Structure 1
Amino acid sequence: MSPLTLTLLAAAWAEDPPEAPAPSAEAALVVEAPRPARSASDRSFDRAALDTLTGRSTDELLRGMPGLHMSAHGGQGKAYQFYLRGFDTVHGAGLAVRVEGAPLNEISNVHGQGYLDLHLIPMSLVRTLTVSPGLARPEEGDLAVAGSATMDLGLEREGLTVTVGGGTDRTGLVTLGHRPLGAAPGSFLLAEVQGGEGVGESRAHRHLRGAAGVEREVHGRTLRGMILAHDGVFESPGVLTEADLAAGEVGFYDAYPGSGGGRSRRALGVLRLSRVEADRRRQWTAYAAARGLSLHQNFTGALYDPALGDGASQTHHALTGGLRVEGQRRAALPIDAGAELRLDGLRQAEDHADLAGEPLDRRFEAEAGVVNLGAWLAAPLHPRPWLLIAPGLRADALGYAVRAAVEGGVRVDDPQTALAWAPVLSPKLTLTASPTDTLRLFTTAGRGFRSPEARGLTEGDGDGGSERAPVTQVQSVELGASFDPLPWLGLRAASYATFVSNELMFDHTAGRFLSGGPTRRLGLDAALLLRPTPHLGLDLELSLCDGKLRGAETPLPYAPRALVAARLWSMHLPIGATAQLSAGARLWWMGPRPLPGGFASQPTGAIDLTLRVDRGDLSLDLDLDNVLGQEWRDGEFMYASRWDLNAAPSELPARHITAGAPRAARLSLTWRR
């Protein structure tokens, strides 16, 4: 199911002044979370605040999470790579995200556990975003070990909305949305076309998106139903060797032949029924999704196969469905409780491919069914008006049925079904103390988990027996504080210690996770929030993390050890009598990251800018990426490769880099009627 391709022209400049009132300081960039804060690092953003975040996609809105760094080495179409609290979650193995209550992470995706692809969601449709580093929340289960996030969707303005834009990066965007007059934000139609060639080689992409929603009040309950669909085709620039860059053999934004690309298709339907009363809240969520993904990649050139190349082609098809029930009661004995069921059925394969991406021979082929049944219970108690004690417990039961037709490049004559299961208990505890009106102290402790890939469970005996699935356990303790001594000044700090039973490390050359053993992380998130006026703010954030393999005390590769970000923003700042300005500038710097073999990456950073002027029915948006035009390195890796077929092969590791976003300007015009 593909969205319609729509193209409309902009309309005449309107003279009506904006009617929206200026937000208060509390409703500025960081607002009170829809779910109660469990950490000093929790943040929440409404639509006005989201407009001040720099970014060109829904994925990049997640940069509002303290300590999160994102990498787009796969081009504009593949899922981003996420780094958070010392975790290299790769494409989402430690960061759980829900939209309208439905999980977006893909279980046992062929390209990596927890594959988190947000290209499904139009950026203009995100109405609220809540981000929560850490694992303190009992309502979040599998994969929520580095952090979690939730999104609600809807159109903020009634009537017809048309956006047309383009940029110096040779990209364009057309969006058409409609919210009926008098209808709730959850009632809408939206279609979007986005694409272009990008700057440099092998960066072309095309995305078609469609969405429809309905929101109604039914007998005192709110009913929300939504359908989202996406079809994307993209190229991937892959890696370049530092030696070729230094010798001038390739340019910074070039790509080797056959570097990669793919096609991504996805559809998601969600139905939510909620009821809010004076002392309780209940919500039911049902969802269903269909997924198709094909990827081609080559990280080593022709090192292992000098004649045909080392390319790999991966395909993944999945159907997902689930039901989630949750409620909160605020009575003499307050209770937060819920249960959820998730079912996944998938087929996946991986082929050896030549330099052009054509499949040669099959390395792996399997089908699997995965079940996750979970329930949680928490009791947020207030023994004193200033003290919250919230013990909680989550219980999950995981089940797998996996049948591999091709394993290790060998086709199995009589494939058997491997069965696996695992019970998981995750206790949680949160203590929140507010000794004064300006000071809040947080203490959280708990356990989270990450389920195994179905691909690694294909060695069952197939005779009706079963085995225990190897679940990764994560334990964490966090101490934090938020202090607001003045109306315009806020301080936030959170320190944490996290221990992982078996670290999963992604092998970029093989395109899959490998076991790394137990690890520990010690870290700190700190922030200074300034609000000199209701329309202006400055956020300064510092994230430090020391992650090591336990026993060997070897630094964890790839994960950032130091990240600094500064964000200057304005929201609905009056310009004359008829216009308002919303803008955001983000400067970030990341220190050297450990690489395998005792190497380290270069420090890197960039400045991005977004600006929006609203006047009546028109809005003009300007986005600037990499304002200073730096050739910053999005990623650095150490391994052996061979890209020059005339050179002798070498097993010595070489430094490879992926290019960060180039300097680019994008301008768009939005008309509403």
Structure 2
Amino acid sequence: MAAGAAGGVENSGETTLSAIQVRSSKEDLSGVAGAASEGVVSGERLSTLPLLRPAEALEQVPGLIVTQHAGDGKANQYFLRGFNLDHGTDFATYVDGMPVNLPTHAHGHGYTDLNFLIPELVDTIRYRKGPYFAEEGDFSSAGSARIGLVRRIDGTLASLGWGQGGYARSLVAGSPELAGGRLLYALEAYHNNGPWQVPENYRKWNGVLRYSQGSEANGWSVTGMSYSGRWTSTDQIPERAVGEGLIGRYGSLDDSTGGSTRRTSLSAQWAQSDAAGRSRANAWLLDYSLDLWSNFTYYDRDPVNGDQFRQDDRRRAGGFDLARTTYARLGGVELENTLGLTGRHDRIGRVGLYYTADRETLSTVRQDRVEQSSVALYGENQARWTPWLRSIVGARIDYYRFHVGSSLAENGGRASDSLASPKFGLVFGPWRRTELYVNYGLGFHSNDARGTTLRVNPENPAEPASRVTPLVRSRGGEVGVRSEPLAGWNTTVSLWQLDLASELLFVGDAGTTEPSRPSRRQGVEWANFFTPASWLTADLDLSWSRARFRDDQPIGNRIPGAIETAVSAGLAVDNLGPWFGALRFRYFGPRPLVEDNSVRSSASALTSLRLGYKVDRRTRLALDVFNLFDRKVNDIEYYYASRLRNEAASVEDVHFHPVEGRTVRLTLTTRF
């Protein structure tokens, strides 16, 4: 059964709603993929899933875990391949060609906020892992995901959702024909308080307006998006505060933390394909702001006013990406040659850190203006030497330039850097529906611009601080296999390794760059998708990672927060009369919280359920139950020192953000 991109199919002129679809042809990468860990998730599959948050769409990337350590209006926290990716560092995310990662961000370099994403509009998620692809640059050492949006949906979609904790969501979307093309529109309104003792009162508005002609391969589109959100957050809390009865599991130690954010973007895409090759171009503009109040240490720094701080970010950014692929034949060898050029400029009018109390500013730690530019030239050659052997050879050259104007004159200045990153891959097969892959490549991640010109500690200007390298090298390799051993069963296995020259990160909570050590991560991933019958699909993803610092130090060589084990599994049922449903399971294993592994996090196992009924061909009801078994587990755990109001000194403790308890939501969807 073929599906429309938004989960609907047309039959005899009538719109029908199909909740569960078999594996889409978009997801079949046999003969196309350059690595075993490369894949595609279709919007049809995504439409079957109960999603607590929009960013959880990325959990369809095998081994990737999406959590939250504060309010839902804040960017999520991501884990993959032995990384605690924080809010997105080392995993590059794009929506319709626009990079989502924000460099030199107030809260963390690479900040990736996907709250503007409307899941019903997702057409595909194309993911890659490792530094093996010439097209992928900054933030992509662990991997990347390119989210494409639909150009049309079937009929006019209207959706209303209600649930516990003040949850309410409404969505209207359509794509009427206009002047030989399609005008796609969508408007989403959302509210949620959650289970928190201090209501989250998260309010957001999302709007999308797109005009397009033609197709993704031969056509063009212009898209405008707008998102605004406002919330009160319950940040991570110490175990001792709950154990002593000072607060409950869903309690807060600072009821004025939270934030507001806004982003407005305009983007354009163009593509053309013919017998000689294919060309594509895209350009984008972004206007963005964030105000974020947090308090993770309570009364450790300031026993009188508390440790709350504000981070703000005001920026305008723009960029482009051009690429041309040509087809050729040389002595019986089929060739594909790609040449691309990409660039970006962020004009950050203000990025600041301030000490506050009840959201009132007490003092300024640092406030900066940043101009950050980058440009990259990349090329790739794919050659099919025989029916069973392909080679992929590529390289990219990146150049970065930073200009920082700081409230502390000593921390201002200019910096620049460049790196060349070669890539290499071999693909053997197919033999009996099986392909083998060998990949190797060099990559990099950039550092926060403020770290490249740093001279003194912003919290104590009398204390000197060291600058960091603007671009840090990564090096990775992978061996994998992709196969269809039985009809309807697609499976991939990959063994990988990734080295980073340094894990330098800008710590937005302190306004400084924190040096770390060279690291090595290794692991294995096994991903499966099975369609045993037209009414049943199943998937199972298993991931294991080993993350270590490469230099031996007495403090230990474990990387705090590094994910070790992840399991994701699901069943989906449809075409059995009016009923449909899905069951999802996710396991997030224990992790070291300190370098010597003496403190470890607990594990998290969650199950979610979707049960639905098709009222008629146009209307359906879906009941989603998150955390079905009401497990008392955590989204995130850290180990550090903090101080409560009644304590005479700071105490090292595990700090956690709990998973929401059993949560029920009902959604009514109709098309007309």
With normalisation by structure 2, the TM-score equals 0.90
**Aligned match of 1:106:** 102
CA distance in 1, matches of 2:512, 2:269: 35
CA distance in 2, matches of 1:17, 1:223: 28
The residue identity in structure 2 corresponding to 1:550 is: R
SS of structure 2 residue aligned to 1:483: strand
CA distance in 2, matches of 1:497, 1:183: 51
- Seen in structure 2, the aligned counterparts of structure 1 residues 277 and 16 have a Cα distance that, compared at 3 Å, is closer
Contact 1:66 1:133 in 2 (8 A): no
- Seen in structure 2, the aligned counterparts of structure 1 residues 184 and 51 have a Cα distance that, compared at 3 Å, is farther
**1:246-265 per-position Cα deviation (integer Å, ceiling 9, x unaligned):** 23322111111246210010
- Seen in structure 2, the aligned counterparts of structure 1 residues 349 and 520 have a Cα distance that, compared at 3 Å, is same
Map 1:439-478 onto structure 2 (within 5 A). Answer: 439-459=434-454, 469-478=469-478
CA distance in 2, matches of 1:119, 1:104: 11
Q: Choose which of 190, 193, 211 in structure 2 pairs with 1:214.
A: 211
**Aligned match of 2:524:** 524
Contact 2:448 2:506 in 1 (8 A): no
Map 1:111-510 onto structure 2 (within 5 A). Answer: 111-154=107-150, 156-181=152-177, 187-202=183-198, 203-217=200-214, 221-258=218-255, 260-332=257-329, 333-405=335-407, 407=408, 412=409, 418-459=413-454, 469-504=469-504, 510=510
The residue identity in structure 1 corresponding to 2:593 is: L
**Aligned match of 2:664:** 665
**Aligned match of 2:599:** 599
CA distance in 2, matches of 1:441, 1:34: 11
**1:192-224 per-position Cα deviation (integer Å, ceiling 9, x unaligned):** 110121112242200011110001149x95110
- Seen in structure 2, the aligned counterparts of structure 1 residues 340 and 92 have a Cα distance that, compared at 3 Å, is same
Residue 507 (structure 1) shift = 5.4
Residue 19 (structure 1) shift = 5.2
Contact 1:419 1:460 in 2 (8 A): no
The residue identity in structure 2 corresponding to 1:357 is: R
Residue 580 (structure 1) shift = 6.6
SS of structure 2 residue aligned to 1:594: coil
SS of structure 2 residue aligned to 1:315: strand
**1:559-598 per-position Cα deviation (integer Å, ceiling 9, x unaligned):** 211112212123xx2243xx473x3322122221001253
SS of structure 2 residue aligned to 1:602: coil
SS of structure 2 residue aligned to 1:554: coil
- Seen in structure 2, the aligned counterparts of structure 1 residues 636 and 483 have a Cα distance that, compared at 3 Å, is same
Matched, 1:554 2:541: no
Contact 2:34 2:392 in 1 (8 A): no
Residue 175 (structure 1) shift = 1.0
CA distance in 1, matches of 2:513, 2:613: 45
Instruction: Name which of structure 1's ranges 307-316 and 168-177 shifts more when overlaid on structure 2.
Output: 168-177
Contact 1:314 1:351 in 2 (8 A): yes
- Seen in structure 2, the aligned counterparts of structure 1 residues 435 and 164 have a Cα distance that, compared at 3 Å, is closer
Contact 1:314 1:348 in 2 (8 A): no
Instruction: Name which of structure 1's ranges 309-318 and 179-188 shifts more when overlaid on structure 2.
Output: 179-188
**Aligned match of 2:92:** 96
- Seen in structure 2, the aligned counterparts of structure 1 residues 416 and 475 have a Cα distance that, compared at 3 Å, is closer
Contact 1:617 1:671 in 2 (8 A): yes
- Seen in structure 2, the aligned counterparts of structure 1 residues 309 and 350 have a Cα distance that, compared at 3 Å, is farther
Map 1:530-609 onto structure 2 (within 5 A). Answer: 530-552=530-552, 554-570=557-573, 573-576=574-577, 579=578, 581=580, 583-596=581-594, 598-609=598-609
**Aligned match of 1:464:** none
Matched, 1:638 2:639: yes
Contact 1:252 1:631 in 2 (8 A): no
SS of structure 2 residue aligned to 1:380: strand
CA distance in 1, matches of 2:576, 2:434: 36
Q: Percent identity?
A: 26
Matched, 1:60 2:56: yes
- Seen in structure 2, the aligned counterparts of structure 1 residues 435 and 154 have a Cα distance that, compared at 3 Å, is closer
How many residues matched?
Answer: 638
Residue 358 (structure 1) shift = 1.5
The residue identity in structure 1 corresponding to 2:479 is: L
CA distance in 2, matches of 1:184, 1:358: 53
- Seen in structure 2, the aligned counterparts of structure 1 residues 473 and 288 have a Cα distance that, compared at 3 Å, is same
Contact 1:568 1:585 in 2 (8 A): yes
CA distance in 1, matches of 2:78, 2:511: 16
**RMSD in angstroms over aligned alpha carbons?**
2.6
CA distance in 2, matches of 1:126, 1:51: 9
Which residues of structure 2 form unaligned runs of 5+?
1-11, 330-334, 457-466
**1:108-138 per-position Cα deviation (integer Å, ceiling 9, x unaligned):** 1111111101112222221211122222221
- Seen in structure 2, the aligned counterparts of structure 1 residues 654 and 427 have a Cα distance that, compared at 3 Å, is same
CA distance in 1, matches of 2:255, 2:69: 15
CA distance in 2, matches of 1:103, 1:480: 28
CA distance in 1, matches of 2:283, 2:560: 39
CA distance in 2, matches of 1:156, 1:561: 40
SS of structure 2 residue aligned to 1:640: strand
Contact 1:111 1:511 in 2 (8 A): no
**1:394-448 per-position Cα deviation (integer Å, ceiling 9, x unaligned):** 111111111102x3xxxx4xx7851111111111111111151321101110011
Contact 1:541 1:565 in 2 (8 A): yes
Residue 161 (structure 1) shift = 1.7
The residue identity in structure 1 corresponding to 2:626 is: D
SS of structure 1 residue aligned to 2:328: coil
CA distance in 2, matches of 1:433, 1:52: 34
- Seen in structure 2, the aligned counterparts of structure 1 residues 285 and 613 have a Cα distance that, compared at 3 Å, is farther
Contact 1:418 1:460 in 2 (8 A): no
Contact 1:65 1:133 in 2 (8 A): no
- Seen in structure 2, the aligned counterparts of structure 1 residues 36 and 290 have a Cα distance that, compared at 3 Å, is farther
The residue identity in structure 2 corresponding to 1:590 is: F
CA distance in 1, matches of 2:14, 2:338: 45
**1:238-296 per-position Cα deviation (integer Å, ceiling 9, x unaligned):** 12211122233221111112462100100111111111113411111011000000100
- Seen in structure 2, the aligned counterparts of structure 1 residues 575 and 531 have a Cα distance that, compared at 3 Å, is closer
- Seen in structure 2, the aligned counterparts of structure 1 residues 568 and 78 have a Cα distance that, compared at 3 Å, is same
- Seen in structure 2, the aligned counterparts of structure 1 residues 321 and 543 have a Cα distance that, compared at 3 Å, is same
Which residues of structure 1 form unaligned runs of 5+?
1-14, 462-466
Residue 322 (structure 1) shift = 1.1
Residue 638 (structure 1) shift = 1.1
SS of structure 2 residue aligned to 1:455: helix
- Seen in structure 2, the aligned counterparts of structure 1 residues 631 and 183 have a Cα distance that, compared at 3 Å, is farther
**1:530-571 per-position Cα deviation (integer Å, ceiling 9, x unaligned):** 32113312212111111011122611110211112212123x
Residue 164 (structure 1) shift = 1.1
- Seen in structure 2, the aligned counterparts of structure 1 residues 66 and 498 have a Cα distance that, compared at 3 Å, is same
Residue 100 (structure 1) shift = 1.3
Contact 2:241 2:247 in 1 (8 A): yes
